Amino acid sequence: MNRSSSWLRAFAIVLCGTVFLLVVVYFALGRDAAEKIGTALFMPSGLVWLLLIALCIQLWPLRRSDRPVGGWTSLLCLAAYSLGGSGYMSEYMASALEAPYVQMNPLAEPAVDIVVVLGGGGSQGANGRLQGNGSGDRLILAAQLYHKDPATKFLVTGQRIESMNSSGVDPADTSLDILTRLGVPESSIERIGGKNTFEEMQNLGARFNDSSLRIGLLTSAWHLPRATRLAARNGLTTVPLPADFRSSPPGQTPTIGQRIEALIPNGAAFGSTWSFAKEYVGMMIGR
């Protein structure tokens, strides 16, 4: 059998297995679940996954030949891709990072003198408007803290890296703009620079090292472990104010449909895994 026919056979096996899975889901969980899982399978990330499975089926017999590299390499690629895009992996990493803050309700914490809102919660839209992004809950929580206690002062951080950001707008400016539109007066907000969390904490440490102020550190819950470590290294004692949780609520058991969908690599899981891996790498190298 030539290579093209063996590839077509492998792909046919995968396609038949996919159809069989969707039929089972349709009769077991209903049409809506089947449509959702089918969509995930035939999105670009899911389709690449199916093609990798077919490639493994085609090359796996070579592991016992005089050319075993192809079979093992395809399997390793499939495993790496499956883990990187798995909802299970991103959920596990999020839970590990966020565990210290799950029981915290920032709106129930005692008042702080100043809230440091780390940049990254907003971006510039195609129409030029500054808008909240996937981490925009940082800014929503900041506005809620202000409306709970209008005496609260805010310090927004972030300076763009010009070679990596063509918008011309610093993250601190974006946070300032969005917070004012959420009802926080500009007189209660101050900006401070820093191209990354390491620089931001250096700047904050230089400013508040000898201060007796009670300082709240507001950022995504999965970013707080690294941010608080860097703050402590720069002589700051902060009150963690977690926002933007990515892990599921404790005790929430996923449905069978959710479990199946979580096995299929998807863009959201890849993005989350990338963000969480960056946190671990940053903590490993002290940045």
Average pLDDT score over residue span 221-241: 94
User: What integer pLDDT is reported at residue 110 of this predicted model?
Assistant: 87
pLDDT at 252: 84
Q: What is the pLDDT of residue 166?
A: 78
Average pLDDT, the chain: 90
pLDDT of residue 3: 56
pLDDT the model gives residue 67: 61
Residue 28: per-residue pLDDT? 93
Lowest-pLDDT range, 55-64, 122-131, 161-170? 55-64
Per-residue model confidence (pLDDT) at position 68: 64
Which pLDDT value is given to residue 4?
A: 57
Angle between helices 224-233 and 87-98 (to 10 degrees): 40
pLDDT of residue 5: 63
Read off the pLDDT band of 262 (50, 70, 90): very high
Residue 10 pLDDT exceeds 80:
yes
Span 106-142, pLDDT tens digits: 999 888 999 999 998 999 888 989 999 989 999 999 9
- The ranges assigned to domains in the chain are 3-97, 105-244
Mean pLDDT of 40-56: 93
Q: Is the pLDDT of residue 1 over 70?
A: no
Q: What is the pLDDT of residue 62?
A: 64
Percent of the chain residues past pLDDT 90, beyond the cut: 69
Residue 75: the pLDDT is: 87
* Alpha-carbon gap, residue 25 to 194, rounded angstroms: 50
Confidence label for 13 from pLDDT (cuts 50, 70 and 90) = very high
> What would you measure as the largest C-alpha separation in the chain, in angstroms?
77
Q: Answer yes or no: is pLDDT of 176 > 70.
A: yes
Phi, psi of 25 (to 5 degrees): -65, -40
CATH number of 105-244: 3.40.50.620
pLDDT, average across residues 78-96: 94
With 80 as the cut, is the pLDDT of residue 27 above it? yes
pLDDT exceeds 90 at position 61: no
